[in-house]
């Protein structure tokens, strides 16, 4: 299979093997803008994103811009995000746009227009399955047809996630149902070792998967694991939670806090790569 025929998961997996398994979150928090000497404006978040890409494109397996920090600057902030997405594309680094959308099927078509095509188009987006994984299937088909992917929230990194995601308990949890659905999409739409549909499972979840009777090793796709760094998870937590599964660790503040110097940002990414064994 040549590069043009590979699905999103296969392409990302190759990049992770090559560069190490770390996604750099582009999260221009107000506090980070301040420490970088940038204004808390649309121009500030644009500059923050462009500089992050310029500093880290050679070692990042993916960039994960957090839409919230751009949207808080309204229309001008969204225009800034368009520029950052274009800069990521020019750098050749795959993008996971973190928008965490999830709605009825007909509305999901609108979100797919917004984030899988047009100026904000990403290689993959984050998706919430709270309206039922079935409501996301048309979006999944569309992503696969465009060579793109989805990351569906399953066991999130925040402590409050357990209140809903663990409901049902061992062998029958909400999270387990999400994982079964996304596995089935991979098998049906892109059979093979690594499918285009991933799962978000926080590196902070400790023994939760085991306690819920979920075997994370059997998933035919890539895990996106936020929670590394600022939320307290380390590389050994990643190994403990995921074993030998294919996992893309994601960190934002712990890398971005090394800026604004390119050297500081690179050191932050290198430390994260070292800790997760990249
Ligand atoms: O989908 C995500 O990326 C995500 C899922 C999750 O379970 N937990 C989580 O923290 N995230 C996102 O990952 C980033 C974490 O940022 P840091 O804590 O600074 O590394 C934020 O943009 C969160 O919105």
Share of the chain above pLDDT 70, in %: 99
Residue 118, C-beta contacts closer than 8 angstroms, at least 6 positions apart: none
Q: Can you say how many angstroms the Cα of residue 79 is from the centroid of all Cα atoms in its chain?
A: 21
Determine, yes or no, domain membership for 257: no
Helices 235-242 and 262-276 pack at an angle, to 10 degrees, of 40
- Token match 């600022």: residue? 230
Which pLDDT band holds residue 4 (cuts at 50, 70, 90)?
low
Instruction: Name the CA dihedral angle for 178, 182, 187, 189, rounded to a multiple of 10 degrees.
Output: 140
What is the domain-level CATH number for residue 214? 3.20.20.70
Give the residue, out of 250, 256, 257, 271, with the most ligand 1 atoms within 8 A of its beta carbon, to mutate for a pocket test. 250
The residue whose CB lies within 8 Å of the most ligand 1 atoms, and thus the one to mutate among 45, 157, 204, is 157
pLDDT confidence of residue 171: 97
Domain assignment present for residue 167? The answer is yes
* Confidence at residue 193, expressed as pLDDT on a 0 to 100 scale: 83
Average pLDDT over residues 79-90: 98
User: Does residue 33 fall inside a structural domain?
Assistant: no
pLDDT (tens digit, 9 = 90+) per residue, 199-221?
Answer: 999 999 999 999 999 999 989 99
CA of 226 to the centre of ligand 1 (A): 5
Q: Residues near ligand 1 with C-beta < 6 Å? A: 25, 27, 66, 98, 126, 156-158, 200, 202, 226, 229-231, 250-254
Q: Is the pLDDT of residue 3 over 70?
A: no
| Planar angle of CA 55, 252, 50, nearest 5 degrees | 35
Query: 20 C-alpha vs ligand 1 centroid, how far in Å?
Result: 19
Enter the tokens of residue 167. Answer: 């409901």
Considering the domain boundaries, does residue 215 fall inside one?
yes
Q: Kindly indicate the confidence band of residue 5, based on its pLDDT and cuts at 50, 70 and 90.
A: confident
d(CA 75, CA 57): 27
* Residue found by looking up tokens 């950052």 in the block: 84
User: How far is ligand 1, taken at its centre, from the CA of residue 255, in Å?
Assistant: 13
10 Å CB burial of residue 95 (0-12, 13-18, 19+) is buried
Domain count, the chain: 1
- Residue 17 vs residues 14, 58, 60, 127: alpha-carbon distances, Å: 5, 14, 12, 25
pTM assigned to the model: 0.97
DSSP string of 52-121?
Answer: HHHHHTTT-SEEEEBHHHHHTTHHHHHHHHHHHHHHHHHHT--BEEEEEE---HHHHHHHHHHHTSSTT-
Give the model's confidence band at 192: pLDDT under 50 very low, under 70 low, under 90 confident, else very high: confident
Task: Identify whether 235 is part of a domain.
Answer: yes
Residue 115 pLDDT level (bands cut at 50, 70, 90)? very high
190 assigned to some structural domain:
yes
State the average pLDDT over residues 260-267: 98
Closest by alpha carbon to 145, among 116, 182, 118, 119? 116
ipTM of the complex: 0.99
- Average pLDDT of the segment spanning 56-79: 98
Q: How far apart are CA 143 and CA 169, in angstroms?
A: 31
CA distance 45 to 74: 12
Residue 231 CA: nearest ligand 1 atom is: 18
- For residue 30, name the pLDDT band (cuts at 50, 70, 90): very high
Residue with the nearest Cα to atom 11 of ligand 1? 226
Residue 198 confidence (pLDDT): 98
Domain assignment present for 43 = no
**Beta carbons within 8 Å of 252's beta carbon, 6+ residues apart:** 24, 25, 26, 27, 64, 66, 226, 229, 230
CA-based angle 55:61:63, to the nearest 5? 60
User: Considering the domain boundaries, does residue 179 fall inside one?
Assistant: yes
Cα distances (Å, whole numbers) of residue 3 to 91, 186, 187 = 17, 19, 20
Residue 122 has pLDDT above 70, yes or no: yes
pLDDT at 138: 97
End-to-end C-alpha distance for the chain, whole angstroms: 25
pLDDT at 79 over 60: yes
Question: Could you list the active site residues?
Answer: 100
Is residue 1 over pLDDT 50?
no
Q: What is the pLDDT of residue 2?
A: 43
Domain range for 234 is 3-19+68-252
Average pLDDT, the chain: 96
- Return the closest-CA partner of residue 197 out of 150, 153, 147: 150
Nearest to 217 by CA among 188, 236, 239: 239
277 confidence band (pLDDT: 50, 70, 90): confident
Res. 78: pLDDT tops 50: yes
Encode pLDDT of 128-168 as tens digits. 999 999 999 999 999 999 999 999 999 999 999 999 999 99
């Amino acid at each position: 299979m040549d590069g043009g025929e590979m699905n999103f998961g296969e392409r990302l997996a190759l990049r992770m093997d090559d560069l190490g398994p770390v996604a750099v979150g582009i999260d221009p928090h107000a506090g980070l803008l301040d420490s970088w000497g940038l204004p808390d404006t649309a121009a500030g978040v644009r500059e923050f994103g462009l500089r992050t890409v310029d500093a880290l494109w050679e070692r990042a397996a993916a960039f994960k811009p957090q839409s919230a920090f751009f949207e808080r600057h309204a229309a001008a902030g969204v225009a800034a995000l368009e520029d950052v997405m274009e800069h990521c594309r020019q750098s050749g680094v795959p993008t996971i746009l973190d928008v965490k959308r999830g709605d009825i099927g007909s509305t999901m078509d609108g979100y797919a227009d917004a984030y899988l095509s047009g100026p904000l188009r990403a290689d993959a987006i984050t998706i919430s399955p709270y309206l039922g994984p079935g409501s996301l299937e048309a979006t999944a088909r569309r992503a696969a047809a465009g060579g793109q992917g989805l990351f569906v929230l399953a066991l999130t990194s925040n402590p409050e996630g357990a209140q809903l995601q663990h409901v049902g308990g061992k062998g029958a949890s909400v999270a387990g149902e999400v994982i079964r659905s996304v596995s089935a999409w991979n098998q049906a739409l892109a059979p093979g070792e690594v499918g285009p549909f991933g799962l978000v499972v926080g590196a902070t979840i400790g023994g939760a998967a085991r306690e819920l009777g979920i075997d994370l090793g059997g998933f035919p796709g890539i895990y996106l694991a936020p929670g590394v760094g600022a939320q307290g998870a380390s590389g050994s937590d990643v190994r403990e939670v995921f074993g030998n599964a294919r996992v893309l660790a994601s960190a934002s503040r712990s890398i971005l806090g090394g800026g604004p110097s390119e050297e500081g940002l690179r050191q932050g990414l290198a430390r994260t790569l070292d800790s997760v064994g990249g």
